[in-house]
Amino acid sequence: MGNSSRKIVAIMGVGTVSRELPIVAITPFAVAAERELGDAQLRANLGRATRTIRDKRARVVAEVADWEPMRDRAAAVKDEVLDNLSELLARFEAAAVAAGATVHHATDAAHANAIVTELVKEQRAESVVKIKSMATQEIGLNEALEAAGITPIETDLAELIVQLADDTPSHILVPAIHYNRSQIRDLFARRMPGFTATSDEPAVLAGAAREYLRRTFLAAKVAVCGANFAIAATGSLVIVESEGNGRMCLTLPETLIAVVGVEKLLPRFADLGDFLRLLPRSSTGERMNPYTSIFTGVTPGDGPQRLHIVLLDNGRTQVAQDPVGRAALRCIRCSACLNVCPVYERAGGHAYGSVYPGPIGAILSPQLTGQDAGFNKTLPYASTLCGACYDVCPVKINIPEILVHLRQTGSKPAAERAAMSTLSWVMRDRRRWRAALRAARSGAAPLRALTRRRGGTLRRAPWPLSAWTAHRDAPLPAAESFRDWWRRTHESS
Amino acid sequence: MSLPELFAERAGDYRAGMHHCTEDDLPAVLAGLLAGASKVVLPPGLPDAWTAALTMPALLDGPAVAQAARPGSARDGRAAALTAAELDEAGLTAVELDEAGLSVLTGCAVAIAETGTIVLDAGPGQGRRLLTLVPDHHVCVVRDEQIVADVPDMIAALPDPRRPLTMISGPSATSDIELNRVEGVHGPRRLDIVCVHP
Ligand code: SF4
């Protein structure tokens, strides 16, 4: 799916090395969305998933009396981090090093990939076990490791499914939501060594993954993880998960490499009090996720004896300079905004073409890469600006505001430019405006009868309005203007 | 609702097995819960009474940091009391812990009522992280006075936040296949929590 279209563009010569990165959309959102909308199974699965998680979230959020003040506090803490980023990074590094970790700084994706690849080679490991991590997806670490002859093994069940299928995730939280159980069974039968089950019961499939990965965990020398939070005061890393694959990766291998976006910092350990209440409730709709691991450097005799932390910038300090757009860096990747988004619910994660889908992706991807990368500038248009994402966001990112800001600062599509300049010429003069409305009404008259069955909406308008109706139905102009109606009903009496 | 009652209700929501007893009944309750185990894994620093009624062979984990920090605990005395006890001075390996039929018995550092969470900090009676990860069955003892209201209180109650911490809320679970909740993916598939009331 996502991968195959990526390859096609590369063959056509449009893609450069930087455009191949998984954070860059290689197709305009509207085009990709149209393709994805044709997938009925995706839409059905996604609709069910988003509805279920949405309802669960609403229930557990309603339980918490101080939810709103907590959101305010969390937003303020994250802003404090962005205001003092370099100082807090230095504090984190000092504390982590004192606890036995080695800290690396990566300016961009290629740099981070080179550091990690080198560290894995030092351990002479042919494979690494991985915990699901958005940061490593963002930099395309798996592809970089493969190019160096190292096999990355995803250990999160959904990520494993997606990896075995040579596919890309469609949701941050439930990446394989576009697969049904029978498809997963067939996939395991084809790609998972030692798989013999004939049943497609989720418990049986999960059991097969447990067996397969247990052997892998026991033999693994190196693990790669991200982090949900990094505590500046203590140098601690926090990893939130459900399945226990994270604990396996964080405990069994001798070497652990954590790739951590610099915005993951929290100043104080006590800040976790709010964030560990906000994240699980917003994310899976649980009061608490099954497992949270917090560790600081190396503990003799317990867990990995070599810990490398790669602090990843990759555009983040640049984004932190934008007074409006920087709020996107507060994001704790809970995916609540995806589940409430009417556009995401229908189009699905692949339509965004970037590792960060949904409302957060629409503001984060184009900012991290710059709007000129691939078609990332089309992502801020993947929204109706309804504001549902802002309401649920645990760190109160005003996503609609940033969307509008990015639309204003990015280059606009040609049709919108044409339509807007015509409109501004017409609207500047009262006579021109009235004439235009009259023309629209008489032009629409014959269409009205034809479109009555659809409630009087238009599927295709002529250019430049076609850019609007390509992906929306447009209402026809009213048969009578308010001015005319007023004159007819009031001035005659 | 009192904190212990809320904790029991919330932890029960995750389908952890919930058991209640007094200090006096504890050895018998633990012996009952662990009766099906081929061997029981014991971290250093467990109170002797907890293992007093156990009859199956035990795997005692070797000297961990926490053990050294607490010289008073009589590990050797307890080891002698258990039948056919094995004492691994170097520490049990993941492969040893992967043997079928193992159960692990621990205490905890603190527990959270609001979320039904137990928090282990590798202190006495909890041990290294892999002890509660690789075996398929975890029995955890929680005393009423260890239960705090919510996450911020838990953080305030930790003796040292820089110890390796594991917060556990029910058995491991996934909802990755058609959003069906499946319990026990990689961690212990069974979690029994024994609440000790005064
Ligand atoms: S933007 Fe807000 S709601 Fe969306 S994933 Fe990030 S933290 Fe969650």
Which atom of ligand 1 lies closest to the CA of A282? 8
CA-closest residue to ligand 1 atom 8: A334
CA B74/CA B44 separation, integer angstroms: 9
B111: left (phi over 0), alpha (psi -120 to 50) or beta: beta
Is the shortest distance between the CB of A394 and ligand 1 below 6 Å? yes
> Which residues of chain A fall short of a pLDDT of 70?
1-20, 411-418, 449-472, 492-493
What length is written for chain A?
493
Give the gap in angstroms from C-alpha A410 to the nearest C-alpha of chain B. 37
- At residue A120, the pLDDT reads 98
Ligand 1 pocket check for A392: Cβ under 6 Å: yes
B186: nearest CB among A213, A288, A295: A213
Characterize A203-228 residue by residue with b for buried, 16 or more Cβ atoms within 10 angstroms of its Cβ, and e for exposed: ebbbbbbbebbeebbbebbbbbbbbb
Q: How far apart are CA A143 and CA A98, in angstroms?
A: 33
| CB A265, CB A232: distance < 8 Å | yes
CA of A403 to the centre of ligand 1 (A): 14
pLDDT at A453: 64
Q: Kindly determine whether residue A203 and residue B161, on different chains, have CB atoms separated by under 8 Å.
A: no
Instruction: Identify the DSSP state of A411.
Output: P
Pairing mode, if any, of strands B173-174 and B182-183? antiparallel
Contacts of A438 (CB under 8 A, 6+ apart): none
Which chain A residue has the Cα nearest residue B161?
Answer: A269
Hey, what's the torsion of the CAs at B43, B49, B52, B53, to 10 degrees? -110
Ligand 1: does its nearest atom lie under 6 Å from the Cβ of A395? yes
Residue A279 CA to ligand 1 center (angstroms) comes to: 9
- Which one-letter amino acid corresponds to residue B40? V
Which CATH architecture does the domain made up of B3-197 adopt? 3-Layer(aba) Sandwich (3.40)
Q: Do A269 and B156 touch (CB under 8 A)?
A: no
Helical residues (DSSP H) of A105-140, grouped into ranges: 109-122, 134-138
Q: If you measure from the C-alpha of residue A335 to the centroid of ligand 1, how many angstroms do you get, rounded to a whole number?
A: 5
pLDDT at residue B25 in the model: 96
Give me B73's structure tokens: 């605990």
- Map out the domains of chain A as residue ranges: 1-411, 414-490
Which pLDDT tens digit goes with each residue over A335-351? 999 999 998 888 888 88
Per the DSSP assignment, residues forming a β-bridge with B137 are: B103, B190
CB contact under 8 A, A245 and B185: yes
Q: Which homologous superfamily does the CATH classification assign to the domain defined by A1-411?
A: NagB/RpiA/CoA transferase-like (3.40.50.10420)
Question: What are the φ/ψ torsions at residue A171 (nearest 5 degrees)?
Answer: -155, 145
Phi, psi (rounded to 5 degrees) for A272:
-60, -25
Report CA-CA distances (Å) from A264 to A85, A237, A315, A331, A332: 10, 9, 14, 9, 8
Per the CB < 8 Å rule, is B182 touching A272?
A: no
- Contact call for B165 and A299, based on CB within 8 A: no
Taking CA atoms, what residue in A is nearest to B120?
A: A293
Q: For A290, which of B150, B169, B179 is closest by C-beta distance?
A: B169
DSSP B26-45: HHHHHHHHTTT-SEEEE-TT
Q: Which two tokens stand for residue B30?
A: 């633990």
pLDDT of residue A348: 82
Its ipTM equals 0.89
Distance between CA atoms of residues A327 and A363, nearest Å: 10
Q: Does A158 touch chain B (CB under 8 A)?
A: yes
Q: B174 vs A206: CB contact, 8 Å cut-off?
A: yes
Q: What is the DSSP letter of A302?
A: B
Compute, in angstroms, the gap from residue A331 CA to the centroid of ligand 1.
Answer: 5
Query: Residue whose CA is closest, atom 6 of ligand 1?
Result: A331
At A292 the three-state DSSP class reads: strand
Chain A hits for B64, Cβ within 8 Å: 301-302
- This prediction has a pTM of 0.86
Q: Do A293 and B163 touch (CB under 8 A)?
A: no
CB contact under 8 A, A206 and B94: no
Asked whether A336 lines ligand 1 (CB < 6 A), one says yes
Interstrand relation of A236-241 and A229-231 (parallel, antiparallel or unpaired) = antiparallel
Query: Does A65 lie at the interface with B, CB-CB under 8 angstroms?
Result: no
Interface contact A295-B133, CB threshold 8 A: no
HSE (side-chain half, CA atoms, 13 Å) at A446:
2
Computed over every residue of chain B, the mean pLDDT equals 86
Query: Which A residues 171-190 touch B at CB under 8 Å?
Result: 174-177, 179-181, 184
- Chain B residue with minimum CA distance to A52: B179
Q: Identify the residue whose tokens are 């075996």.
A: B135
Kindly tell me if the per-residue pLDDT of B68 is higher than 60.
Answer: no
Q: Do B95 and A252 touch (CB under 8 A)?
A: no
The answer, for A210 touching chain B at a CB cutoff of 8 Å, is yes
* Residue whose CA lies nearest to ligand 1 atom number 2: A393
Q: Does A419 touch chain B (CB under 8 A)?
A: no
Whether B107 and B46 have beta carbons less than 8 Å apart is answered as: yes
CA-based torsion, B40, B45, B51, B57: positive or negative:
positive
Cβ contact, residue pair B177, A157, below 8 Å: yes
The β-bridge partners of A224 are A130, A257
Task: Determine the distance in angstroms separating the CA of B88 from the nearest CA of chain A, rounded to an integer.
Answer: 13
> Which tokens go with A170?
């469609």
Record the tokens describing residue B183, joined without a space.
Answer: 């319990």
Query: Would the CA dihedral through A399, A404, A405, A407 be positive or negative?
Result: positive
- Residue-level pLDDT at A464: 64
Q: Which of A217, A218, A284, A302 to mutate to test the interface with B (most CBs of B within 10 A)?
A: A302
Cβ A175 vs Cβ A159: under 8 Å: yes
Q: CA-CA distance, B145 to B135, in Å (whole number)?
A: 28
**Most B CBs within 10 Å, among A97, A213, A247, to test the B interface:** A247
Domain locations in chain B as residue ranges: 3-197
Residues 257-296, chain A, touching B (beta carbon < 8 A):
269-270, 272-274, 276-277, 284, 286-296
Of B173, B177, B187, which has the smallest distance from its Cβ to A247's Cβ? B187
Q: What are A85's two structure tokens? A: 């980023």
C-alpha dihedral over A211, A217, A219, A225, to 10 degrees?
Answer: 150
Distances (CA, A) of A48 to A157, A178, A201, B46: 20, 11, 19, 47
- C-beta of residue A142 within 8 angstroms of C-beta of residue A136: yes
- Position A59 scores a pLDDT of 95
Instruction: List chain A residues with CB under 8 Å of B175.
Output: 174, 242, 284
pLDDT greater than 50 at residue B76: no
Tell me how crowded residue A167 is: count the other CB atoms within 10 A of its CB.
19
Strands A222-225 and A127-130: parallel
A50/B contact by beta carbon, under 8 A: no
CA dist., res. A84 & res. B49, Å (int): 51
Among the partner residues A175, A248, A273, nearest to B151 by beta-carbon distance: A273
